């Protein structure tokens, strides 16, 4: 485990980046929860991608279910779901590692759906990029875990 306390005063850029990325992750959850798929794609770099996999927290060898690349493709994938039952993301265990203008992170998501409260859970593995002073998703890979 990295030492996240020692030298904190010497890491103001990393702390600012982690805060901005945390807000990006939370913003993503808010636009999904508020049924605004048209805004989701704007949180990605122009060539960013979103991938969904099927797997389990204790298993290796996930299966790719879908992958879309680029803002327009992400937008086109999400827009048909507007007005339909949708996820209500609950984000846990967010970790972020910053390396200059790029970063990686993971978080666990539990998500009841807006229609029936039933849902799914899994893990995001993200890569972030800072473009013109703003953080975006460069890659967002969600592995959906089978329900126990």
Tell me the CATH number at 45: 3.10.450.50
Is the predicted pLDDT of residue 74 greater than 70, yes or no? yes
96 falls within a domain: yes
Per-residue pLDDT tens over the stretch 10-62: 577 889 999 999 999 999 999 999 999 889 999 999 999 999 998 877 666 67
1 falls within a domain: no
Is the predicted pLDDT of residue 113 greater than 60, yes or no? yes
Number of structural domains the chain divides into? 1
pTM of the full structure: 0.86
Sheet holding 134-145, edge to edge: 63-69, 44-55, 134-145, 119-131, 102-112, 90-99
2 falls within a domain: no
Is the predicted pLDDT of residue 75 greater than 60, yes or no? yes
At residue 147, φ and ψ (nearest 5 deg) are -70, 140
pLDDT given at position 103: 97
Give the whole-angstrom CA distance, residue 33 versus residue 41.
15
At residue 13, φ and ψ (nearest 5 deg) are -65, -40
Q: Which domain holds residue 32?
A: 8-145
């Amino acid at each position: 485990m990295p030492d996240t306390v020692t030298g904190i005063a010497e890491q103001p850029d990393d702390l600012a980046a982690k805060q901005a990325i945390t807000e990006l992750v939370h913003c993503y959850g808010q636009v999904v929860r508020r049924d605004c798929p048209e805004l989701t794609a704007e949180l990605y770099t122009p060539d960013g991608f979103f991938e969904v996999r099927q797997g389990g927290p204790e298993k290796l060898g996930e299966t790719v279910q879908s992958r879309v690349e680029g803002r327009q493709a992400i937008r086109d994938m999400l827009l048909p779901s507007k007005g339909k039952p949708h996820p209500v993301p609950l984000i846990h265990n967010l970790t972020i590692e910053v390396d200059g203008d790029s970063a990686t992170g993971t978080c666990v998501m539990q998500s009841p759906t807006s229609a029936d409260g039933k849902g799914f859970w899994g893990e995001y593995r993200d890569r972030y990029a800072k473009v013109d002073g703003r953080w975006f998703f460069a890659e967002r890979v969600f592995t959906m875990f089978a329900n126990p």
